Structure 1
Amino acid sequence: VLCRYQHIWNIDLRFRPAFLGGIMKATGNRPPAMLPKRAEYLLKDVKRMAKYYQVPVQISASDFQRIIAASTLGAMRFLTAIDMTQPQYLEPLSREFWMRFWSQHEDVSEPENILAVARQAGLSSELAQKLLKMISSPEVKNRLKETTEEALKYGAFGMPAVVAHFNEEHHLFFGSDRLELLGNVIGEKWLGPVPSVPSPKM
């Protein structure tokens, strides 16, 4: 949804790959689906939110175990490598990883799936293979560790986490349902989940 607003609000939207497992461990947080009643609620709420925000997230009770057990470390390292070398691909790559994990229920840790994501996002096979080799390098591992520590410094305890830098202050927003509050803090108007781009003034 923030991608839809990046040309409507006066914002410079930047994606920052971070390792969710590291954030959860450092803060003592637990996946919400580990609480049976909350998992039952989430199942209904995610469906409502998917409809409202018009995003193709699909989840069933059997998916919770898959989500909890899934590793996204390889995907985050791949995104980190692209951020370090070809940042213009960071948004389409992030979107494609999201689609495969939340909508198509694929294992995004498998090398062949990572390469398929890269092809879908427009990367050449040569570049994708080069980036795949980079994910085990100290440089990529250290950069991901740095961005994860930076998220913790801003107060993140889970994902999604949005940090707005405004008027020389930073404001942390957790969750996908805080965009109206984000707009209010930065002085922008919430126009709903699917805003229309204003017509140019004549």
Structure 2
Amino acid sequence: MTSSRKVVELFYDVVSPYSWLGFEVLCRYRSVWNIDLKLKPAYLGGVMHASGNRPPGLVHNKFLYMTKDLRRLSEYFGVPLSPPANVVEAMFEKGSLTAMRFVTAVAEKETNGDMMVEKVSRELWKRIWRTDQDITKDASLTEAGLKAGLLPTEVEALLHLAKSQPIKDKLKSVTQEAIDYNAFGFPLTVCHVNGKAEPFFGSDRFELMAHCIGEKWVGPQPTKPIAKI
């Protein structure tokens, strides 16, 4: 292991279940690998549009595979995924723009690394991908923020901030960063090694990622016990 910490950026959107898997694994490895993990909330819809990609939920055979795949991955990674009753509505009709602006607002006011960004993001993932709840309304974002540990006054201020032009511009900017790395979906993990950016798509590239940064992959749950999600 080298002495210098590698910067690892995770671009993600809470509407993506595969992003949740990548998010949890990298959060676990933050204390295992010699890395400085940077959480980068972005907007998946913007990446899909810019790249011309088509969501798997809109391709029938991919959708059928995805539902089976997520069940297996949930068990393997120890992440309690449970797809919403109407995946297409939750992912593509309602979308996540409001939620990701809220997370971006949290990131903008973060004073303790990415701790609150991590907690709020996790609560939003749990709402859509565990308990089949809304993530588009202010009341939904409020509930997620409170469960993450924010005070009612803080949530109110963040909801107001999330509607501001600077936050909208910030989310666009971070999304553009992902696009500039040739992103076509999330999660996108970018490892910075010896002055070079190495992008990895998906939640199934951890062994290759470890090789790239000079670390070892020891499975999806490297330490025991792991905090309950």
Deviation at 1:174, TM superposition (A): 0.9
Find runs of 4+ consecutive structure 1 residues off by over 4 angstroms: none
Q: Within the alignment, does 1:175 sit opposite 2:199 as a pair?
A: no
Q: Within the alignment, does 1:120 sit opposite 2:147 as a pair?
A: yes
1:1-202 residue pairs with structure 2 within 5 A?
1-59=25-83, 62-88=86-112, 89-196=116-223
Could you say which structure has the higher strand fraction? Answer: 2
Percent identity, please.
41
Deviation at 1:40, TM superposition (A): 1.3
Deviation at 1:67, TM superposition (A): 2.1
CA distance in 2, matches of 1:87, 1:97: 20
Q: Which of 84-93 and 187-196 deviates more?
A: 84-93
Higher relative contact order (CA 8 A, sep 6+): 2
2:216 maps to amino acid: K
CA distance in 2, matches of 1:62, 1:111: 21
Equivalenced residues, count: 197
Query: Does the 8 Å contact 2:28/2:221 carry over to 1?
Result: yes
Query: Does the 8 Å contact 2:95/2:136 carry over to 1?
Result: yes
Deviation at 1:70, TM superposition (A): 2.6
1:35-74 deviation per Cα after TM superposition (whole angstroms, max 9, x unaligned):
1111111111111111100101112774344322232111
Q: Which of 63-72 and 78-87 deviates more?
A: 63-72
* Unaligned residue ranges in structure 2 (runs of 5+): 1-24, 225-229
2:120 maps to amino acid: L
Structure with higher Rg: it is 1
CA distance in 2, matches of 1:62, 1:107: 12
1:153 maps to amino acid: D
CA distance in 1, matches of 2:156, 2:85: 35
Query: Does the 8 Å contact 1:164/1:172 carry over to 2?
Result: yes
Q: Which of 84-93 and 7-16 deviates more?
A: 84-93
Q: CA RMSD in A?
A: 1.4
Aligned partner of 2:14 in structure 1 is none
Aligned partner of 1:200 in structure 2 is none
TM-score normalised to structure 1 length: 0.93
Deviation at 1:4, TM superposition (A): 0.6
Query: Does the 8 Å contact 2:46/2:175 carry over to 1?
Result: yes
CA distance in 1, matches of 2:28, 2:217: 12
